[in-house]
Amino acid sequence: MRILPVIRLSLVTENTTSPERQMGKIRQYAALGDHELVPITERDYDLDVSGAVNPFDRDGLGPWLREDRLDAWDALCAAKLDRVSRSLFDFTALLSWLEAHGKSLIILDPMMDLTRPEGRVMAHMLMTFAQYEREVIGARVKDAHDKLVRDGKYTGGMVPFGYMPVKLAKNWGYEPDPEYAPLVAEMAGRFLKGEPMASIARWLRESGVPSPKNVIRKRNGKPLTDTPWAASVVRMILKSPAVVGAVVNTDGEPLRDTDGFVVYRAEPLIPREVYEAVQSRLALNSAPVKVNTSPLLRVAYCTCGASMHSTTTNRKSYPSDRRGEPVTYAYRYYHCHSSHLRDGRCSAKRLNAERLEEVVIGALLSEAGWYELTERKLIPGRAYAEDVARLAETIGHLSSKIAGGRATRQDVSADEAARQRAQEQLDLIAAREPEPARMESVKTGKTLRARWEELDVPGRNQFMQSVGIRAVAHKEDLPPVPFGEPVPMDGDFANKVKRVHIIVENGLNIVIDLGTLPDMLARADEL
């Protein structure tokens, strides 16, 4: 009989001798029984292959089970049953296939004749235990992995940007990366000052900072890929609880322990109050306004309805300097966008930029500069979904165990008591109302005027756009601005109507609509 050796090993190490020992037993059996051994090479071995893999899908054995190679052998021979498979379903399917094709299976330890009914029964029993052992090992490995994750240990794969894996006395952990952790704090600071995400991403690119994926490749000594920073990546980092040391799952949600509390693994990259301020701003600015370096972009408008743009030009002044040369200086002004169109539908004159900005910003700060800013602080809530799921799973497990014990006439009183305690806990939790997380306003001790001085130009422009400030300006030789008379600002009435300022001076007429004061102050807290 022509015997085809079946060699499999789940894990190969430098000291592995199992494949040689398996082959030695099969060769010895073939010699004693005067069988012909089908010649195979190590390419026909299944090394580093789990017993859960279907024999037909294995790189070594699989090709021998195809129609074009069936004439080369009469029986499969394995040193042990689990070298063939550790799945009862796959093993049963293989036996049926072998019988349909006139082939047989030989197991050496223990010796089984699978051509006889008692041999097949014994094989199925052993395969059942082999599958059980595989599942127990898998569950044990998963439990160990889950515990490492819950304990904040590094288990391989991606590391949150700003952290680095470190070797501990046992296993691996995380700690802030001295090279990249300060960049996370800088990103948060820039965002809170009003800098757009795209601008932060551009700063990181221009500074030569590798993207999060490239940081991992750099640590592993692999070549970097063309993966640039993007605004979405910056947002994902600032939004993730990982920046305060929390363990997160693949969906970016924080991992919680059995009591529903977030699991932390390392020191935070940014203070908690900064993180909460970032989350509040992200929630209220899901689609930030596009800004540029013009303070009054989409704030200043012409009487024709077109927006005004800031432009700088060079001018020569007289008298000249000491050498008789004219002095050149930069003159910045706002002009109507329509005035540059070919149809010439607007003849508005240019307005001095410094004076226009001074008047508009002055009106804003005179109305709300005194306001003491508040920040929204997150007060964590408490949900019981995880506790309910854990108790329900425990009750189900104990119920199955009790049912099996009763069927075999075992004492199940201890399991019944445990199930009763779990049921009582479940009933108690089910009666509780979830405590939702809430935001509380806390005074910061800083006024809007003080915060305004800290903002850069894009941050100031974004704030004015977000609160709806609109200034319509023109020189006095144009028709009157269509705004009507100013509204009186006395009593509580002032908090319910629009704040309108009218500025009339030599060569400059401006009507400034600041919107309602409560709306403005609500947006000011985001700063």
Q: How large is the C-alpha radius of gyration of the chain?
A: 38
CA angle 180, 184, 185 (to 5 degrees): 120
446 within some domain: no
Domain match, 95 and 41 both = yes
Q: Which residues make Cβ contacts (< 8 Å) with residue 499, sequence separation at least 6?
A: 367, 489, 513, 514, 515, 516, 517, 520
Average confidence (pLDDT) over 34-63: 89
Domain end position, chosen among 253, 284, 315: 284
Residue 45's nearest CA partner among 68, 21, 66 is 21
Cα(491)–Cα(457) distance, rounded to whole angstroms?
A: 34
CATH code assigned at 244? 3.90.1750
311 within some domain: yes
Domain match, 180 and 39 both = no
168 within some domain: no
Q: Return the structure tokens found at 388.
A: 């309910």
How many structural domains is the chain composed of?
4
Q: Which of the two residues, 119 and 452, has the higher pLDDT score?
A: 452
CATH code assigned at 51? 3.40.50.1390
Average confidence (pLDDT) over 441-467: 82
Give CA separation, 381 vs 261, 283, 378, 439, in Å: 10, 18, 9, 10
Domain match, 208 and 122 both = no
What are the tens digits of pLDDT across the range 72-113?
999 999 988 888 887 777 877 888 888 888 888 888 887 776
Average confidence (pLDDT) over 465-493: 58
Q: Return the structure tokens found at 30.
A: 């073939």
33 within some domain: yes
Cα(383)–Cα(71) distance, rounded to whole angstroms?
A: 64
The amino acid sitting at 137 is I
The percentage of the chain sitting over the pLDDT mark of 70, rounded to a whole number, equals 71
Does the model's pTM come out above 0.75? Answer: no
Cα(298)–Cα(300) distance, rounded to whole angstroms?
A: 6
353 within some domain: yes
Indicate if the pLDDT at residue 152 is higher than 70.
no
pLDDT of residue 496: 45
The answer to whether the beta carbons of residues 481 and 474 sit under 8 Å apart is yes
Residue 510's nearest CA partner among 305, 301, 340 is 301
Q: How confident is the model at residue 61 (pLDDT cuts 50, 70, 90)?
A: very high
298 within some domain: no
SS (H, E, C) 52-63: CCCHHHCCCCHH
pLDDT of residue 340: 60
Domain match, 122 and 13 both = yes
pLDDT of residue 73: 93
The residue segments making up the domain with residue 259 are 175-284
The amino acid sitting at 158 is M
Give CA separation, 237 vs 106, 197, 208, 284, 290, in Å: 57, 11, 18, 17, 21
Cα–chain center distance at 407: 48
Give CA separation, 107 vs 7, 111, 133, in Å: 12, 6, 19
Indicate if the pLDDT at residue 138 is higher than 50.
yes
Q: Extract the runs of DSSP E, i.e. beta strands, from 86-162.
A: 104-109, 112-113
What is the 3-state composition of the chain as percent helix, strand, coil, each rounded to the nearest 5?
A: 45, 20, 35
Q: Return the structure tokens found at 124.
A: 């199925």
Give CA separation, 393 vs 388, 396, 400, in Å: 9, 5, 11
The percentage of the chain sitting over the pLDDT mark of 90, rounded to a whole number, equals 8
Average confidence (pLDDT) over 151-177: 71
Indicate if the pLDDT at residue 291 is higher than 60.
no
What are the tens digits of pLDDT across the range 301-360?
888 788 888 888 776 555 555 555 666 667 788 888 776 655 556 777 888 888 888 888
CB neighbourhood size of 179 (10 A):
11
Average confidence (pLDDT) over 505-525: 73
Cα(313)–Cα(318) distance, rounded to whole angstroms?
A: 17
Average confidence (pLDDT) over 273-287: 75
Indicate if the pLDDT at residue 386 is higher than 70.
no
The answer to whether the beta carbons of residues 29 and 35 sit under 8 Å apart is yes
pLDDT of residue 450: 85
Average confidence (pLDDT) over 490-515: 65
3-class DSSP assignment, residue 470: strand
109 within some domain: yes
The answer to whether the beta carbons of residues 184 and 205 sit under 8 Å apart is no
Domain match, 57 and 124 both = yes
Cα(49)–Cα(87) distance, rounded to whole angstroms?
A: 13
Q: How confident is the model at residue 130 (pLDDT cuts 50, 70, 90)?
A: low
Domain match, 109 and 185 both = no
Domain end position, chosen among 257, 284, 311: 284
Please provide the average confidence, as pLDDT, over all residues in the chain.
77
Residue 423's nearest CA partner among 392, 397, 449 is 392
H/E run at residue 291: none
Domain match, 11 and 65 both = yes
Domain match, 478 and 335 both = yes
Domain match, 226 and 102 both = no
pLDDT of residue 527: 60
pLDDT of residue 46: 92
The answer to whether the beta carbons of residues 331 and 314 sit under 8 Å apart is yes
Domain match, 25 and 111 both = yes
Domain match, 342 and 471 both = yes
Domain end position, chosen among 148, 165, 192: 148
Query: What CA dihedral angle connects 232, 233, 238 and 243, to 10 degrees?
Result: 160
Indicate if the pLDDT at residue 479 is higher than 50.
no
Q: How confident is the model at residue 127 (pLDDT cuts 50, 70, 90)?
A: low
pLDDT of residue 64: 93
Question: Where do the H-state alpha helices sit in 369-516?
Answer: 385-407, 413-430, 448-454, 457-466
166 within some domain: no
The amino acid sitting at 162 is G
Average confidence (pLDDT) over 29-45: 90
Domain match, 270 and 327 both = no
Please give the DSSP secondary-structure letter assigned to residue 1: -
pLDDT of residue 129: 60
Cα(331)–Cα(349) distance, rounded to whole angstroms?
A: 14
